[in-house]
């Protein structure tokens, strides 16, 4: 059977299934699990059908054929603007994509593995939004246990306070797979160290708020499940604390997991850009 993804360049781009909003930021976060070309095609096909996916943050994007097919699939399924940094030395990376809103790449100041942290100014209607995608390394092999994870977390934590200058006078969304859980996570997981919880806390210290936790102070929700069946909320969306009044919805969609598109749930965010809409916590 011919691999659908390898044939994308020969196909006429598909018409977008949804019209992008000009008044709201609608964001979908999706861990691609270093997909093969065929699975990358199916992932983007599913993403394109989601109304909440005007702006997409894709993490764990491979450097090989699967990553190339993912970018081709995004263009095919109606994503006119894509930022896909080179994944150096075969490392995984993060990709940003937008249905229609222009993405203007910016330097966010991430000094280590910057291909895991692309950033852009997004113009939606007559408003601007800052966005940065993140894919934090896992703990890594025994011989380099936690080295890349610590270094990347330190680089991000150092850069976060400066994002107000990178994205002046606009709401900012930082989203992706952080490979950490929040302090007080239920169930607790003893494997995580204080340095990992400190990374989560660095967002609040830099003026960012966990959008899901803001809307759902006590809800137990997970984006990844271990072999024991216990859940972990690894995938996060943060917004500038001064703009939390704009958040309308933030939720986890388990469909990518249950449909075997990924081993992670997707995360969605809808945020007003004009401040006139009421927050919907459901």
Which pair of structure tokens corresponds to residue 50? Answer: 């989601």
Measured between alpha carbons, how far is 141 from 139 in angstroms, rounded to an integer?
7
pTM above 0.75, yes or no: yes
Q: What number is the average pLDDT over the span 264-274?
A: 96
Q: Which stretches of the chain are assigned E, i.e. beta strand?
A: 24-31, 55-61, 81-83, 93-98, 102-106, 119-124, 127-135, 172-177, 208-210, 224-225, 231-232, 235-240, 247-253, 266-272
- Cα dihedral sign, 88-93-97-103: negative
Angle at which helices 65-76 and 37-48 cross, to 10°:
30
Angle at which helices 147-159 and 194-205 cross, to 10°:
20
Beta strands 266-272; 247-253: pairing state = antiparallel
* pLDDT in the model for residue 228: 75
* pLDDT in the model for residue 276: 54
- pLDDT of residue 27 exceeding 60, the answer is yes
* pLDDT in the model for residue 140: 65
Q: For 115-139, how does the pLDDT look when each residue is reduced to its tens digit (9 = 90+)?
A: 999 999 999 999 999 999 999 998 6
Grade residue 103 by pLDDT with cuts at 50, 70 and 90. Answer: very high
Q: For 134-145, how does the pLDDT look when each residue is reduced to its tens digit (9 = 90+)?
A: 999 986 666 666
Measured between alpha carbons, how far is 171 from 242 in angstroms, rounded to an integer?
8
Q: For 169-222, how does the pLDDT look when each residue is reduced to its tens digit (9 = 90+)?
A: 999 999 999 999 788 777 766 767 788 889 999 999 999 999 999 999 999 999
Measured between alpha carbons, how far is 9 from 12 in angstroms, rounded to an integer?
8
Query: Comparing C-alpha atoms, which of 227, 267, 278, 280 is closest to residue 55?
Result: 267
The domains located in the chain, with CATH, are: 4-272 (3.60.10.10)
Query: Comparing C-alpha atoms, which of 257, 275, 84, 254 is closest to residue 170?
Result: 275
- As beta bridge partners, residue 55 has 27, 98
Average pLDDT over the chain reads: 90
> Are 95 and 61 within 8 A, CB to CB?
yes
Which pair of structure tokens corresponds to residue 128? Answer: 């601007």
Measured between alpha carbons, how far is 152 from 171 in angstroms, rounded to an integer?
24
Long-range contacts of 71-75 (CB under 8 A, 24+ apart): 71/95, 72/5, 72/8, 72/9, 73/5, 73/8, 73/40, 73/41, 73/43, 73/44, 73/45, 74/44, 75/8, 75/13
* Lowest-confidence region among 80-94, 140-154, 203-217: 140-154
């Amino acid at each position: 059977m011919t691999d659908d993804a390898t044939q994308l360049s020969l196909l006429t781009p598909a018409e977008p299934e949804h019209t992008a909003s000009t008044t709201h930021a609608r964001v979908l976060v999706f861990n691609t699990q270093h997909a093969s070309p065929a699975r990358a095609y199916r992932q983007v096909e599913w993403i394109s059908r989601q109304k909440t996916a005007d702006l997409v943050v894709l993490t764990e994007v491979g450097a090989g054929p699967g990553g190339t097919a993912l970018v081709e699939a995004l263009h095919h399924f109606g994503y006119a603007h894509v930022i896909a940094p080179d994944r150096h030395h075969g490392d995984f990376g993060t990709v940003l994509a937008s249905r229609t809103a222009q993405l203007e790449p910016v330097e966010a100041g991430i000094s280590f593995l910057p291909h895991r942290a692309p950033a852009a100014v997004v113009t939606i209607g007559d408003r601007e939004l800052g966005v940065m995608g993140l894919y934090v390394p896992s703990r890594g092999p025994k011989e380099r246990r936690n080295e890349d994870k610590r270094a990347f977390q330190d680089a991000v934590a150092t850069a976060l306070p400066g994002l107000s200058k990178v994205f002046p006078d606009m709401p900012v969304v930082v989203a992706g797979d952080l490979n950490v859980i929040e302090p007080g996570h239920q169930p607790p997981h003893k494997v995580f160290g204080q340095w990992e919880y400190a990374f989560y806390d660095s967002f609040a210290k830099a003026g960012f708020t966990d959008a899901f936790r803001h809307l759902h102070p006590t809800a137990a929700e997970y984006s990844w499940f271990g072999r024991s069946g216990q859940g972990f909320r690894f995938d996060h969306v943060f917004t500038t604390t001064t703009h939390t009044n704009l958040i309308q919805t933030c939720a986890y969609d388990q469909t990518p997991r249950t449909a075997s598109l990924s081993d992670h749930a997707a995360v969605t965010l809808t945020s007003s850009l004009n401040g006139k809409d009421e927050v919907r916590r459901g």
